[in-house]
Amino acid sequence: SKKYFNYHRSAQVDAVSAVQKNQGTEPFITQPEISDLTYQVDWIAQDKAAADSSTRPHSAQSHWAVFLDDNPLSEAVLGKIKELDPAPLLLSRDNQRHNDDSHTLYVDTSDLVQTRAMLKDRISKDGRAINGVIYLWNEDRTRQDSEHEVIEQTSKLTQDALFSMQLVLHLQPVLTDGFNMITRGAFSITSSIDAEPNTTELTQAPLSGLMKTLSHEAPGLHPRLIDLPWHQDKSTADARADARNLLDEIISDSSGEFQIAFRENKRYVPRLNHKALATGTTIQIVPDAAYLVTGGLGDIGLRLCEWLIAQGARHLVLVNRSGVTTAHQHSTVAHLRSLGATLTLHRADISSDEEVACIMENTLQGGLPLKGIFHCAGTSGAMTKISDLHWADLKRTMEPKVDATWSLYKASKALPLDFFVSFSSISAVWGAAGLGAYASANMFLEAFSIFTRNRVIPATAVNWGPWSRTGMANAPGLSASLETSGIKPLAPDTCLNMLSSLLASKHRPITVTDTSWSQFRKVIDVFGIGRMFEHLQPAAPTAVSVEASSPPRIHPAGTIAPADIEQYLKDEVGKLLDLPNRNTINRRTGFFDLGMDSVLAAELLTRIKRAFNIDLPSTAIFENPTIQALTDHIVSCLPTPAKQPATTLTEPCAVNTNQRVQHSRTDIEQMSEQEALGLLQASLRNLQ
């Protein structure tokens, strides 16, 4: 059965009521209103000079960690890195390389605990913090050689990426800069699908979903995704050019971009823009043809079937894993049949090539052509942070999206389909804390739609926002968090009435969402991925929805007692999380273990800045995620009486994250060797 995730919040807001069923053929809302709901990610060229900063924050004493393999790009990057760090820490899956090089650590990806222990020991012996991490393990598994290898390679790449993220998350106490995930050909950057040759690397697409989620869950890690171009031949010259672009981007670190793509030595970044759909478009639903709906007995699948019948479909093939099990399903199937349609129900695992082939064979043996596939199957899985995500759970979430999509493609690629529609999610566009598995699975659907369009298969991916009273939007507590973020549930009839225009579109994957961008950006701008939304409405001042506590009192000496700051934070956290006894909050318990999410973290940050009249970086809550740590951080940011009158508290603590990192680097460089070693040893103890 489908599992839904739960935001750990007691305050709940009912989802927007589903609009009454529209029995006619007129659009449910007017076309201009529909146009307001559709968006597209455009990749825009950005001057490389913005990245090639002459002021490089990394000193000659910097220390780097590189996940590398034996290929031209790894060797080229290593050569550039050694100009900064003569002895970088190298992480390899090749045991022979480990035996030949004392700086190489052999990594067994099946044993995370053992690898963490070895890495901790190596860093302790080196006596140096790590300035940045570069992940190049994707390089040897690019461009699938055959259809049969796609799922195997996708699984391996995703599993290794999850392993690396969990390893790097454990390194945060000794990591002073970012985690850089390098992909190749994972994105298509042209506006029209038909204008670009096939350069989409399906197997690497899910990594983008994981990285977007990581930007929500660990913004202090400064995750960054850099996509290099696909080269037919892996020449040394191409590898050197890619390495130069890659290192310039990482080392300068001046643009604040989360996603960057290089194509033909040009630099591109993504921006989400409004995308109006063509008006008056229709699609042809053939009465004497069959239409396959996966997840056909789910909430969305059943609504889609009714829409197809209203458009003229008379033969529907519904597939799901569990069959008809509820009274609602029984009654709805009976209702659909009463409308004059023939429904064929299959209970099957669509991630299985054999079971999908059997469904296709049975359908075609009925004498009707299969003209359309609507792939609505999927599960979000339990809401789990990447740090706690098990590969088995990630794989389970990917199967109905990734494996099933590929099985459907292989079984139908020779058929004269009019359309192949994948129902994806906005989680693929900007990620979501706790939904790394779901976001990565949906990113595959985006890449698949482009991959197949270049093979003259009319594939479409739609990144839907939550549907009202259906699917995940109906999960307990989720609607409250969505609305706090400015994301409103979509009326199902509104979505269905857009399908004709969506299917007729030959643009990139379309995002459909009813979002208040001013409200949404209050939350998303906290994370590095926020730059993608700068073409939309800028963030408005945060509105406080829960009554804030009074700021701590200022003592006559012009100071605020740390105990008063701590009590203030307990009061605020308790109010935001609706905890019954705020004084019992353990000062060392993580905010996110208490149930805080990114929305509430942004709200807490706003209240602290207002209460103490100090400026804090957007990542302050994530980098100081306990009452104790945040109290200490606020104390360090407050002006002293000698510097500032105590009643104004106007001196900012930090202008931005990059400035904070630069200050921390400067502090470390000015330390004596003994002081720096002591700081590193303290950080290593935090890895336990």
Least confident interval from 285-294, 417-426, 446-455: 446-455
- Residues 616 and 500 occupy one common structural domain: no
pLDDT digits (tens, 9 = 90+) for 283-301: 889 999 999 999 999 999 9
Of 184, 191, 174, nearest to 133 (Cα)?
174
Same domain, 502 and 612: no
Domain with 592 in it: 562-654
Q: Are strands 510-512 and 459-464 parallel, antiparallel or unpaired?
A: parallel
Within a domain: 123: yes
| Co-location of 228 and 300 in the same domain | no
The answer to whether residues 290 and 257 belong to one domain is no
Residues 416, 373, single domain; the answer is yes
Task: Report the CATH number that the domain containing residue 581 is assigned in CATH.
Answer: 1.10.1200.10
Cβ pair 254, 87 in contact under 8 A: no
Least confident of 100-109, 146-155, 566-575, 622-631: 100-109
188 touches 196 (CB < 8 A): yes
Do 431 and 363 reside in the same domain of the chain? yes
Closest CA to 464 of 504, 429, 418: 429
Comparison of pLDDT for 341 and 2, the residue scoring more: 341
Per-residue pLDDT tens digits for 294-339: 999 999 999 999 999 999 999 999 999 999 999 999 999 999 999 9
Q: Please indicate, yes or no, whether residues 243 and 312 belong to a single structural domain of this protein.
A: no
Boundary of a domain, candidates 229, 253, 273 = 273
Model confidence at 161, pLDDT cuts 50, 70, 90, reads very high
In a domain, 14, yes or no: no
User: Are residues 12 and 480 in contact, defined by beta-carbon separation less than 8 angstroms?
Assistant: yes
CA distance 28 to 37: 14
391 in a structural domain: yes
Q: Of the candidates 431, 63, 68, which has an alpha carbon nearest to the alpha carbon of residue 258?
A: 431
Same domain? 176 vs 198? yes
> What confidence tier does 26 reach under pLDDT thresholds 50, 70, 90?
very low
56 and 168 share a domain?
A: yes
What percent of the chain has pLDDT above 90? 48
Say how far apart CA 499 and CA 197 lie, in whole Å.
26
* Greater pLDDT, 440 or 122: 440
Contact residues for 449 (Cβ-Cβ < 8 A; gap 6+): 193, 422, 459, 460, 461, 509
Euclidean distance between CA atoms 341 and 687, whole angstroms: 61
Res. 479 pLDDT band, cuts 50 70 90: low
Q: Could you tell me which residue, 273 or 48, shows the higher pLDDT?
A: 273
C-alpha count within 13 angstroms, C-beta hemisphere, residue 107: 23
Q: What is the pLDDT of residue 432?
A: 87
Q: Is residue 677 one of the residues assigned to a domain? A: no
3-state secondary structure string, 574-629?
HHHHCCCCHHHCCCCCCHHHHCCCHHHHHHHHHHHHHHHCCCCCCCHHHHCCCHHH
End-of-domain residue from the set 207, 242, 273 = 273
Same domain, 288 and 204: no
Q: Is 217 a domain residue?
A: yes
Evaluate whether residue 145 is within a structural domain. yes
Count of structural domains within the chain: 3
Contact yes or no for 293/319 (Cβ under 8 A): yes
- Highest-confidence range of 28-32, 122-126, 135-139, 520-524, by mean pLDDT? 135-139
- Do 269 and 289 share a domain, yes or no? no
Q: How far is CA 365 from each of CA 237, 372, 519, rounded to the nearest angstrom?
A: 54, 16, 53
- On whether both 260 and 295 belong to a single domain, the answer is no
C-alpha to C-alpha distance for 555 and 560, rounded to whole angstroms: 6
Cα–Cα distances in Å, from 51 out to 39, 254, 268? 27, 6, 11
601 or 341, which is more confident? 341
Residue 214 lies in a domain: yes
Residue 650 lies in a domain: yes
**CATH number of the domain to which 120 belongs:** 3.40.50.720
Dihedral of the alpha carbons of 190, 192, 198, 199, in degrees to the nearest 10: 20
> Which domain-ending residue is among 211, 244, 273?
273
